[in-house]
Structure 1
Amino acid sequence: MLAMSDINCIKHLRNKKGRSITKIKETLGINWRTAKKDADEDQLPESKIKQSNEMMYSKKWGDIISDWLFEDSKLKKRLRRTKKQMFNELRGLVLKVTIVHSVNLYLIGRIVIMKKKLIKGTIV
């Protein structure tokens, strides 16, 4: 397989300079079939980009797990957290966060209502 620079060179010679496959073969010293395949192929191979799972990083779970892995790397293997333990601890943290968030929203709502009643003078 040729490098991308060679494929681009073959395409340039064929499309821009108008050289024949035989001339390209002789100039670059490659097989005729390789020159034909690379010169007449419409698309260049695309590089594959690995996409990370965004949820782990947008919710800050990735940072928590990274910290746990770093802490566990200092422990003996049998004392480290397993995947299941990490999952259960993370689920507990998320549940606590959602409960605390819900309570905070409720309290904020109650405080706003109390302030409105105080301003109107309905609370003595």
Structure 2
Amino acid sequence: MSDESKYPTRIAPYGLRMPPDLKERVEASAKANNRSMNAEIVATLEEKYPAPLKGAGKLLQEWFDEILNIPDEDKRYEAFSLTFNKLIEKVEDLHKQGSINEDTRSKIIEKIEKAETINSKREWD
């Protein structure tokens, strides 16, 4: 998704007052990230307040949460050990198709890796 489609130029400007020292920090961060102050503020807000997951991303997120909450370690281990590579492939396919964005992809992959770590530790018990 291009920045223009995500942030159309027709969005009404919003005046923002901030303390001078904060403004200096935002300006420095924007310069370091090679973007405008507005883009820096928007990126920071997007990171702090991510959009809720939708569609396939939401379903995968809910599925992972459900598996991570299985109290029986053996059943949780079994559920994950069969699916790690297939799940990662599916997430990558959804991302390539545009069904999930990069942020959603990263969150889901992070959950897979967390689960895989739990699973790997279980093998050594």
Which of the five TM-score ranges fits, normalised by the shorter chain?
under 0.3
Instruction: Give the structure with higher Rg (CA).
Output: 1
Normalization by structure 1: what TM-score? 0.24
Q: Which of the pair has the greater relative contact order for Cα pairs under 8 Å at 6+ separation?
A: 2
